[in-house]
Amino acid sequence: GEKDKTENGIIRAEFAIFQAQLRSPGIKTEQSIHYQSHALTHSAGLVFVSPSIQNRGGSSEAGRLKMAMPCVLFLLLLLQCLAFNQAAGAMASGGEQPLAQIGIHRAVFALHGNASIKANHSLLGTKGEDSEWVTVKFRIPTASPDYWIAVFSPAKFNSSSCPAGDERRVQPPYICSAPIKSSSKYVKTGKGSLKFQLINQRQDFSFALFSGGLSNPTLVAVSAPISFANPKAPLYPRLAQGKSWNEMTVTWTSGYNIDEAVPFLQWGLKGDTQIRSPAGTLTFNRNSMCGPPARTVGWRDPGFFHTSFLKDLWPNSVYTYKMGHMLSNNGSIVWSKSYSFKSSPYPGQDSLQRVIIFGDMGKAERDGSNEYNNYQPGSLNTTDTLIKDLDNYDIVFHIGDISYANGYISQWDQFTQMVEPIASTVPYMVASGNHERDYPGSGSFYDTNDSGGECGVVAETMFYVPAENRAKFWYSTDYGMFHFCVADTEHDWREGSEQYKFIEKCLASADRQKQPWLVFIAHRVLGYSSNSFYAMQGSFEEPMGRDDMQKLWQKYKVDIAFFGHVHNYERTCPIYQNICVNKEKTHYSGTVNGTINVVVGGGGSHLSDFTPLQTYWSIYKDHDYGFVKLTAYNHSSLLFEYKKSSDGVVYDSFTISRDYRDVLACVHDGCEATTWAM
């Protein structure tokens, strides 16, 4: 087709439509369809922007125009329904991935002369912002419950980018990727405006207007592209404890490969001389994924992940840092904004130490889309409550089911952007869950497709943990008076396994004179839960979980075992072998002789039901979103608080008061400091 520049400098592309049996109103045979676009050379991008592409028509049983067209490879659809239908409302029920409900394989191209869509900005982030709100104005011929708006990224695509062998793409034309979210916005007039929040994800965006509902989407209008001023900027830093107590790691995302720019971190004590430390770079590609949708419709270029190690930190000291990339072509530096963190106390340091623990949070969208309303409705509340209270805790443990991307890679960017105010300020320690790791034939302990083909690759690349092998997501870490043993329930934990040996070594290594508070963390419930699913199978736990773990907790006097996976809150009595060993509910002192089990999987995802059975070991249950805060005042006093995400108010609490000799069951000052003495 021919192209010419309009008054506002936007390129118009004209396509001749031919050999089509047309039944869509407003479109005529051989009509030239105009839409705003711009020429790009990137190999993957948004629909219908290359003027060199011919579109061949064809008929279908539904009488809709079908054209052979290039596919969308990295579809970043912030999908907002203009008119809500029942399919959209049910998309997220029961934890179903919303994106999986959209009939991407049936999407067709039929640009409509009487439909239009336009955004109020073409360039975002001109002042360094990593997110901005965009107002989208639209017009449709007739208001209908079948119209919806999508955001694509990149804003250009190429048919050669379609992955081969995707069995769901039954016939052309192909749209090879999938949307991120949707929400209900019923429109009666056929025109109006909506607001979307876009975040910097390294490539440009375009808005698209679809008819046909979610089952049979038909693209009828496309906006001009929108881009960030610095799409490759270093963004979304994540702090994590290193392998020693005085080491902090900073991981961030950028669009710069090491051939294009050298990554580094500039850091130092607040107000003191700054030094520069190098950063390693990792990424993954489509072939790193184990299967669909991560390898097919969910794939999007993830960018690059850089990690720098800050060593020999002074304890309890404030450091500032910022990420930098030195460009190879001219030596100039692209900087991030500045951040700060407080370094960890040394093991056994007697100071105020506060820990946040939750699981199964996921992500949500601040523009009110369907995933926010239905799939992980509590995640924004949890995030915002923690952001408001950022000065009152020191380290966070997100114990599995991190983003719920489930194979839709672009959602990891959205998650890291959402938690950036937290993760850039305090260590954000993660554990592996089924939605990060599990995929048939990939080596996961459970043979499910809960990861959507990610099989652990995305989580272990994007988040640093102090593990010997990040593909095996178990590790230990110290924070002052706390010693944490973090298990990976998606690998074999049973007695005799490699992980079992690690767990025992981790628990045994705690110096209870310096670190009186010993905490076990795992995603799946290896202890006790009143979840209805566990009740139906008669186990009240993950099968085989207690058989092997409980004796270790008892032997090494684990204070509290935390679990996610079940999306609610529950606290048990101190328990061993199905017996409550202590009748207290709010205060424990002296020798406890059992481990308190806590399910804290209400971080944000859809809630799990409790069994109607009255489990005798359960002290407190809450069918709501929330998190736990542990506060160690000193070596003998620990406060446990469960707070709801909606208001940050404490709804359950208890205290532990004791001496380390109570833990070790000795009466003299010279007894050994570890539980090897048992």
Q: Are residues 223 and 351 both part of a single domain?
A: no
Model pLDDT for residues 42-85, shown as the tens digit of each residue = 222 222 222 222 222 233 322 222 322 222 323 333 433 333 33
Cβ atoms within 10 Å, residue 180: 27
Are the C-beta atoms of 479 and 463 separated by less than 8 Å? no
> Backbone phi, then psi, for 584, in 5-degree steps?
-65, 155
Is residue 446 a part of any domain in this protein? yes
Beta bridge partners of 227: 123
Is residue 249 a part of any domain in this protein? no
Is residue 305 a part of any domain in this protein? no
How confident is the model at residue 585, as a pLDDT?
A: 96
Is residue 383 a part of any domain in this protein? yes
Q: Are residues 220 and 368 both part of a single domain?
A: no
* Mean pLDDT lowest among 51-60, 484-493, 576-585: 51-60
Q: Are residues 400 and 539 both part of a single domain?
A: yes
Pick 69 or 374 by higher pLDDT. Answer: 374
- CA 645 to chain CA mean position, Å: 18
How confident is the model at residue 208, as a pLDDT?
A: 85
Is residue 263 a part of any domain in this protein? no
Asked which of 169, 204, 228 is the last residue of a domain, the reply is 228
How confident is the model at residue 55, as a pLDDT?
A: 27
Mean pLDDT of 152-156: 78
* Mean pLDDT lowest among 120-134, 240-254, 359-373, 601-615: 359-373
Residue with tokens 């990040």: 470
Whether a cis peptide bond, with omega within 30° of 0, leads into 173 is yes
How confident is the model at residue 87, as a pLDDT?
A: 28
Band (pLDDT 50/70/90 cuts) for residue 512 is very high
How confident is the model at residue 668, as a pLDDT?
A: 52
Band (pLDDT 50/70/90 cuts) for residue 99 is low
State which residues form the domain around 488. 347-677
Beta bridge partners of 214: none
Cβ atoms within 10 Å, residue 649: 11
* Mean pLDDT lowest among 102-116, 216-230, 438-452: 102-116
Mean pLDDT of 527-543: 91
Residue with tokens 């969910």: 298
Q: Is the pTM of this model over 0.95?
A: no
What per-residue string of b and e applies to 478-509 under the rule 16 or more CB within 10 Å gives b?
Answer: bbbbbbbbbbbbbbbbeeeeebbebbbebbeb
User: pLDDT > 70: what percent of the chain?
Assistant: 76
Reduced to 3 states (helix: H, G, I; strand: E, B; else coil), residue 29 is coil
Reduced to 3 states (helix: H, G, I; strand: E, B; else coil), residue 573 is strand
Measure the CA–CA gap between 23 and 572, rounded to whole angstroms.
Answer: 64
Q: Considering its fold, how many domains does the chain have in total?
A: 2
Mean pLDDT of 284-294: 95
Asked which of 178, 193, 228 is the last residue of a domain, the reply is 228
How confident is the model at residue 251, as a pLDDT?
A: 99
Band (pLDDT 50/70/90 cuts) for residue 670 is low
Is residue 261 a part of any domain in this protein? no
How confident is the model at residue 184, as a pLDDT?
A: 37
For the cut 90, the answer to whether the pLDDT of residue 154 exceeds it is no
Cβ atoms within 10 Å, residue 135: 12
How confident is the model at residue 324, as a pLDDT?
A: 99
Mean pLDDT of 150-172: 54
CATH assignment of the domain containing 629: 3.60.21.10
How confident is the model at residue 69, as a pLDDT?
A: 28
Listing DSSP states for 227-257 in one string gives EESSTT--EEEEEEE-SSTT-EEEEEEES--
How confident is the model at residue 114, as a pLDDT?
A: 87
Residue type at 95 in one-letter notation = G
Measure the CA–CA gap between 343 and 51, rounded to whole angstroms.
Answer: 55
Is residue 98 a part of any domain in this protein? yes
CA 188, 193, 199: angle at the middle one, nearest 5?
135
Are the C-beta atoms of 181 and 81 separated by less than 8 Å? no
Token pair listed for 146: 């079948």
Can you give the three-state secondary structure of 640-662, one letter per residue?
EEEEECCCCCEEEEEEEECCHHH
How confident is the model at residue 189, as a pLDDT?
A: 67
Pick 547 or 232 by higher pLDDT. Answer: 232
For the cut 80, the answer to whether the pLDDT of residue 300 exceeds it is yes
Token pair listed for 335: 């900087």
Asked which of 199, 228, 257 is the last residue of a domain, the reply is 228
Band (pLDDT 50/70/90 cuts) for residue 148 is confident
Is residue 504 a part of any domain in this protein? yes
Tell me the CA distances in angstroms from 67 to 57, 171, 571, 648, one per residue in order. 4, 11, 58, 53
